Amino acid sequence: MRRAWPAVLVACSCAAFAQEPRPDPAATEPPAPASESAAPDADAPAADASPELPEGMRSGREIYQAFLDGLAEPGCDAGATRYEQHFRHAPARLADPDSDALPLFGHVVDALRAAHLPTEYALIPFVESGYAPGARNGGGPAGLWQFVTHTARHHGVPVTKHYDGRLSPAESTRAAVQYLRKLNGMLGGNWRLTAMAYNAGESRVLRALRHSGEQALEATPGSLQGLSGVTYAYVDKLHALACVLTRAGEEAEWMARLDRPVLHLEARPLEGAGGLEAWALGNGQDPTVLRRLNPALGQRWTSPPLALVQAIAPPAPVALAPVRATAEVEEAPAVATTRVHTVRRGESAWVIARRYGVAVRQLLELNNLNANSVLRPGMQLRVE
């Protein structure tokens, strides 16, 4: 969040047309019928064809477009505000392929769109935690949405001595969307007042609204008196962030960096296994990725926690063939073959292992790799 990003560049192109002498009408040939025009090559690839993404992946541009489509207030004033300068590093954070911000942002955008809420609220974790699901603020707020303990428990997030569900982006996002939906309904769908209530509490904002004498839908933050300056600034920060990301979309290079495979995340309870490793093995998931995305899973849990996992179908159970009796006829010795996979952008070891039906550990051992090894596009991996 501290790296600078280039200013927006707008590219223009123009074409010059030479004026030709007017042809003699008598010498003009009638145009050829459309049926005689050269037909396009049927075998030529489509210009806009997008490469097929592996299961459980999505395009970063798809996430960005869903965010834009869900904004309640898409317009931005000319010039940059001081909060836009403050959050100027946010686009670089989403474009960083080594950061989990974009897949987490995508999950939050999905949850808000499903609840028919404005996607300005997807920027709250940027303001609260910098989209860090393990963020803690001393002994107070924690997690992606920086819930305090009382608010988290009130909205069904488990917080115990051994397990803090605020550190689960799945649990905290479910609770945040539920809370925002309630506030949004109480405040007439006014996204600005809803954001203020999220920051200051609904009772303070409702009291200020009553004193203003205005209807919730028509009220503006400035018409509500007696609230903290932090609460008024909260709305300005969210709108500034929305403008920063909107203007970043005019930068071709930034959009190209979003055009990459990104983890497609969904919330799922880790049922049917006694621990993370066992659940991941039975569901085709990478336990290292699960721990990184869900800091709460590093704690002790006794009931199945809700976690963000890659949106893939669990592998079908493998039926073991019955053991054959010793063959009466000796079979010809098998010829050893080696299969090789070329790593594509966005693929991980467990995605490749799942595709070929081998264990992740076996794949790593075959290629002298370990769990911390980085796979790069173009690498050749033995798969058996």
Phi and psi angles of residue 261, each rounded to the nearest 5 degrees, phi first: -70, 135
**Is 76 exposed, middle or buried, given 0-12, 13-18 or 19+ CB atoms closer than 10 A?**
middle
How far apart (Å, rounded) are the C-alpha atoms in residues 50 and 198?
Answer: 40
Judged against a pLDDT cut of 80, whether residue 40 lies above it is answered with no
Nearest alpha carbon to residue 65 among 93, 94, 85, 89: 94
Identify which of 80-89, 131-140, 236-245, 348-357 has the greatest average pLDDT.
236-245
Q: What is the mean predicted confidence (pLDDT) over 123-128? A: 97
Average pLDDT, the chain: 83
Q: What is the mean predicted confidence (pLDDT) over 45-66? A: 80
> pTM score > 0.95 for this model?
no
pLDDT attached to residue 67: 98
How far apart (Å, rounded) are the C-alpha atoms in residues 323 and 333?
Answer: 19
Please state, for a pLDDT cut of 90, what percent of the chain lies above it: 58
Judged against a pLDDT cut of 70, whether residue 68 lies above it is answered with yes
pLDDT attached to residue 3: 36
The contacts of residue 284 (CB under 8 Å, 6+ apart) are 312, 313, 314, 315, 350, 354
Q: What is the mean predicted confidence (pLDDT) over 231-242? A: 95
pLDDT in tens, 23-37: 444 444 444 444 343
Tally of residues, the chain:
384
Q: Which residue has the higher pLDDT, 331 or 36?
A: 331
> 116 with 89: CB under 8 angstroms?
no
Judged against a pLDDT cut of 70, whether residue 257 lies above it is answered with yes
How far apart (Å, rounded) are the C-alpha atoms in residues 176 and 157?
Answer: 10
**pLDDT-based confidence at 329, cuts 50/70/90?**
very low
Judged against a pLDDT cut of 50, whether residue 98 lies above it is answered with yes
pLDDT attached to residue 291: 94
Q: What is the mean predicted confidence (pLDDT) over 278-303? A: 90
Which residues are registered as beta bridge partners of 142?
Answer: 136, 147
pLDDT attached to residue 263: 96
Strands 265-269 and 261-263: unpaired
Judged against a pLDDT cut of 90, whether residue 57 lies above it is answered with yes
**Range from 55-59, 193-197, 312-316 carrying the lowest mean pLDDT:** 312-316
**Range from 145-159, 226-240, 304-318 carrying the lowest mean pLDDT:** 304-318
